[in-house]
């Protein structure tokens, strides 16, 4: 379990998060959504221990502030929004950096690359890849770090991702969602910041909706995806529909230019 | 552009090529050592001396002095200084995540110079001077280099991100400031100190003696050996501070250690060799082009190539206008200056100029 209570965080002395409570379970995908500037990325940084905060964050019952770095690295990996590199690493060299818990096991790196659809890219220079390809190469690196969704002793492993699909085309967006689903179905926990409400509705087990630094609601998609809740959070008119098979979807409505 | 790397078990994995390159560099260093021992203004022949030794004949005193007291310490000193400068460059570049960082360019060497000059000129008046003895110049050079590196890091890096432009500009300011302070101290120096300073400042291995070597060996070998422990951390740091932390790398400790290693190696190299620039940028860059940026191989290979290149430069410096000598710093700058501009122009995008 990942449990965050009464999180307050500042950025440049401005309050970005106010009394946010948040939870995520292993075996589930938990998505953080909300308009730009709502504090989604900051919340993720708090959860990964990268941003100063007041309140408590507990991962599997242990206070995140007291978690030794090395132990954290064993049970959770983090995918940043983008990762520019200063030096000419090849793709496989980047992915192999993720083998911190599986040193020397190159077959994992190769399989991770194949899973993100970059088989055959091993010898390409990372810096020459497109933005989307770089993001998928980083995902392969992060997957290497938590290759088993559950540890040998039964502790669940965690995958934190900040907008993992933001620069991908729809086919690769679906591929990444499938990877997250598989990680969760095999017992791992997935927490991700998302922009795309429809992909979120399709994939998430739990959705946390933020607005202006406050948590509006965290619940299953059916309870969050309502015209009034989403419309108010995003400040525009949205129509939520439902398909019998796949659940909710959001239909954007044309607005008039003021 | 074809970027597939062939002839490797795992495509794109250059670790084998890097290891093989290491063996080649050992050979190259051996050759340059022999050349450094064989060539010199005195005309003493290494070969006839070796032949004499082989048959058990006593060497002429003059040959013995030239070989044992002049050429051998000079070659050893060249190796140490070259290795120290190249590894300093590679570590500094890893720390700043930036291929343009060089101890000479960003002011680390200037800081070391200031420390060295303080020791040369104010020497006796400094606290603990008597206790430090011959170590006083390298120790103060180390302190100067450390202060400069810390200052530069504080200025150029904010929230874990280094701005290339800020780093280069801060380096210029830092160099100017430390040079002004150096000038101020030189101004109060007496004639003998001035002479010491001038010879040292030109950058030369000519003053190599066994005595100086005894001081330099631990000061340089220690940080060189320690740099190997940073290799994995620097690889992780290439992904950024946050990502390195997520992979379990203690980033703050890593950075502190990297700064100490750069300061110690640069300080020692500068206190012995004076102003020898650009080795720290040329060597790592060539190696990254050849076998990639993995620090586990980059750092040892940089030590080997740096040592070999400085021996070659020294060979040129003492033969090109023999029997006179050209300061070696001039040679490394003539080669390194255009090389730096070349890298700068190729990387215009990231420097944002």
Give backbone dihedrals phi and psi of A72, rounded to 5 degrees, phi first.
Answer: -60, -45
Q: What's the token pair of residue A56?
A: 């408590």
Is residue B122 within 8 A of residue B190, CB to CB? The reply is no
Q: What single DSSP character describes residue A90?
A: B
Mean pLDDT of chain A: 92
Burial of B346 (C-beta count, 10 Å sphere; 0-12/13-18/19+): exposed
Which of B243, B288, B352 to mutate: most A Cβ within 10 Å? B243
A94 contacts in B (CB within 8 Å)?
239
- For residue B209, the model assigns a pLDDT of 83
Beta-sheet pairing, A29-33 with A206-211: parallel
- Of A42, A26, A31, nearest in space to A209 by CA: A31
Most confident residue range from B5-19, B90-104, B119-133: B90-104
Say if residue B352's pLDDT is above 50: no
**pLDDT for position B86:** 96
ipTM of predicted assembly, 2 dp: 0.91
DSSP assignment string, A146-160: T-SSB-TTSPBPEEE
Q: What are the structural domains, with CATH classification, of chain A?
A: 2-252 (3.40.50.300)
Cβ contacts of A80 on chain B, cutoff 8 Å: 240, 242-243
- Per DSSP bridges, beta strands B161-162 and A62-63 are unpaired
**Nearest neighbour of B238 by CB, restricted to A50, A87, A100:** A87
Distance from CA of A69 to the nearest CA of B (A): 5
Place of tokens 């002395």: A13
Q: Is A150:A60 a contact under the CB 8 Å cutoff?
A: no
B245 touches chain A (CB under 8 A): yes
Run of H or E residues at A207: strand A206-211
> Tokens at residue B97, please?
């995540």
The percent of residues in chain B predicted with pLDDT above 90, rounded, is: 41
B66 pLDDT higher than 70:
yes
> Number of helices and strands (H, E) in chain A?
9, 12
Q: Which residues of A touch B250 (CB under 8 A)?
A: 69
Judged by DSSP in three states, A46 sits in helix
Read off the pLDDT of residues A152-177 as tens digits, 9 standing for 90 and up: 999 999 999 999 998 899 999 999 99
A92 with B10: Cβ contact below 8 A: yes
Closest CA to B116 of B147, B139, B141: B141
Average pLDDT of B255-282? 89
What is the pLDDT at residue A145?
Answer: 96
Pseudo-torsion of CA A61, A67, A72, A75, nearest 10°? -20
Least CB–CB distance from A93: residue in B3, B4, B12: B12
A3 within 8 A of A58, measured Cβ to Cβ = yes
Q: What whole-number distance in Å separates Cα of residue B227 and Cα of residue B257?
A: 9
Cross-chain Cβ contact A122/B293 below 8 Å: no
Closest by Cβ to A70, choosing from B14, B248, B289: B248
- DSSP H helices in chain B: 15-38, 46-54, 61-64, 72-96, 108-122, 129-132, 136-156, 164-187, 191-201, 210-237, 241-246, 251-273, 279-291, 295-319, 328-346, 348-351
Sheet holding A158-162, edge to edge: A76-79, A158-162, A189-193, A29-33, A206-211, A214-219
B150-181 pLDDT, tens per residue?
998 888 887 667 777 788 888 889 999 999 99
Q: Which residues contact residue B321 at a Cβ distance below 8 angstroms, ignoring those fewer than 6 apart?
A: none
DSSP label at residue B190: -
Q: DSSP characters for B4-70?
A: ---SSSSTT--HHHHHHHHHHHHHHHHHHHHHHHH--TT---HHHHHHHHHTTPPPPHHHHIIIIII
Q: Which residues contact B114 (CB under 8 A, 6 or more apart)?
A: B144, B148, B178, B179, B181, B182, B185
Pairing of strands A158-162, A247-252: unpaired
Partner-chain contact A122 B288, CB within 8 Å: no
C-alpha distances in angstroms, A258 versus A232, A255?
18, 9
For an interface test with B, give the residue of A82, A123, A145, A161 to mutate (most B CBs within 10 A).
A123
B299-314, pLDDT tens digit by residue?
999 999 999 999 999 9
Domain B28-36+60-351: give its CATH superfamily. Answer: ABC transporter involved in vitamin B12 uptake, BtuC (1.10.3470.10)
Count chain A–chain B contacts defined by CB atoms under 8 A: 94
The β-bridge relationship of strands A14-24 and A2-11 is antiparallel
Residue pointed to by tokens 């500009």: B169
CB atoms within 10 A of CB B344: 15
Average pLDDT over residues B325-336: 85
Helix intervals (H) in A118-203: 131-145, 170-185, 197-203
Neighbours of B51 (CB within 10 A): 11
Rounded Cα distance between B27 and A235, Å, is 70
Q: Stretch B226-233: mean pLDDT, rounded?
A: 95
- pLDDT tens, A30-69? 999 999 999 999 999 999 988 999 999 999 889 998 889 9
Closest-CA distance, A100 to chain B, in angstroms, reads: 7
Separation between Cα atoms, residue B285 and residue B298, nearest integer Å: 10
pLDDT value at residue B200? 73
Spatial distance between the Cα atoms of B227 and B306, rounded to a whole number of angstroms: 15
Contacts of residue B90 in chain A, CB cutoff 8 Å? none
Rounded distance, CA B174 to CA B105, Å? Answer: 10
Encode pLDDT of A103-141 as tens digits. Answer: 989 999 999 999 999 999 999 999 899 999 999 999 999
Q: Which of chain A's residues have a Cβ under 8 Å away from the Cβ of B294?
A: 89, 93
| Cβ contact B292–A128 (<8 Å) | no
């Amino acid at each position: 379990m990942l449990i965050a209570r009464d999180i307050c965080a500042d950025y440049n002395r401005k309050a970005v998060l106010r009394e946010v409570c948040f939870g995520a379970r292993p075996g589930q995908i938990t998505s953080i959504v909300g308009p730009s500037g709502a504090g989604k990325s900051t919340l993720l940084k708090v959860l990964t221990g990268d941003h100063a905060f007041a309140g408590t964050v507990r991962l599997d019952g242990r206070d995140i502030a007291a978690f030794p770095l090395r132990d954290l690295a064993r049970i959770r990996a983090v995918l940043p929004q983008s990762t520019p590199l200063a030096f000419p690493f090849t793709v496989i060299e980047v992915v192999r950096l993720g083998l911190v818990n599986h040193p020397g096991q190159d077959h994992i790196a190769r399989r991770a690359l194949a899973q993100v659809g970059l088989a055959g890219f091993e010898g390409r220079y990372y810096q020459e890849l497109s933005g989307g390809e770089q993001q998928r190469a980083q995902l392969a690196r992060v997957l290497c770090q938590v290759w088993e969704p559950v540890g040998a002793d039964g502790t669940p492993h965690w995958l934190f991702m900040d907008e993992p699909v933001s620069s991908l085309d729809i086919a690769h967006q679906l591929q990444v969602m499938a990877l997250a689903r598989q990680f969760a179905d095999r017992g791992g926990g997935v927490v991700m910041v998302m922009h795309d409400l429809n992909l979120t509705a399709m994939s998430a087990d739990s959705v946390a909706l933020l607005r202006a630094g406050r948590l509006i609601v965290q619940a299953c998609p059916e309870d969050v995806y309502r015209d009034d809740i989403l419309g108010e959070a995003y400040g525009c008119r949205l129509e939520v529909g439902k398909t019998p098979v796949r659940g909710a979807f959001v239909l954007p409505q044309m607005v008039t230019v003021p | 552009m074809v970027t597939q790397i062939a002839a490797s078990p795992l495509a794109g994995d250059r670790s084998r090529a890097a290891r093989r390159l290491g063996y080649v560099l050992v050979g190259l260093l051996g050759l340059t050592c022999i050349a450094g021992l064989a060539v010199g203004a005195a005309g003493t022949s290494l070969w006839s001396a070796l032949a004499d030794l082989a048959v058990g004949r006593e060497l002429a005193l003059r040959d013995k002095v030239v070989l044992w007291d002049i050429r051998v310490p000079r070659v050893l000193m060249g190796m140490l200084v070259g290795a120290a400068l190249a590894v300093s460059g590679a570590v500094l570049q890893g720390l700043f995540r930036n291929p343009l960082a060089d101890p000479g360019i960003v002011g680390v060497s200037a800081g070391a110079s200031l420390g060295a000059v303080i020791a040369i000129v104010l020497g006796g008046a400094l606290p603990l001077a008597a206790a430090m003895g011959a170590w006083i110049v390298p120790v103060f050079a180390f302190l100067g280099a450390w202060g400069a590196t810390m200052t530069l890091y504080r200025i150029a890096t904010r929230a874990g991100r280094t701005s290339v432009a800020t780093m280069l500009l801060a380096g210029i300011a830092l160099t100017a400031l430390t040079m002004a302070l150096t000038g101020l101290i030189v101004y109060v120096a007496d004639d003998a100190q001035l002479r010491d300073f001038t010879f040292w400042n030109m950058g030369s291995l000519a003053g190599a003696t066994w005595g100086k070597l005894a001081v330099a060996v631990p000061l340089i070998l220690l940080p060189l050996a320690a740099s190997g422990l940073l290799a994995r951390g620097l690889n992780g740091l290439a992904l950024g501070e946050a990502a390195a932390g997520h992979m379990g790398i203690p980033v703050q400790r890593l950075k502190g250690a990297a700064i100490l290693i750069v300061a110690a190696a640069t300080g020692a190299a500068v206190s012995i060799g004076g102003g020898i620039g650009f080795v720290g940028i040329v060597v790592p860059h060539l190696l990254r082009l050849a076998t990639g940026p993995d620090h586990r191989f980059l750092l040892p290979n940089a030590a080997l190539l740096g040592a070999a290149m400085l021996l070659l430069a020294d060979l040129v410096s003492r033969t090109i206008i023999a029997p006179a000598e050209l300061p070696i710093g001039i040679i490394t700058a003539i080669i390194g200056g255009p090389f730096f501009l070349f890298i700068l122009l190729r990387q215009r995008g990231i420097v944002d100029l």
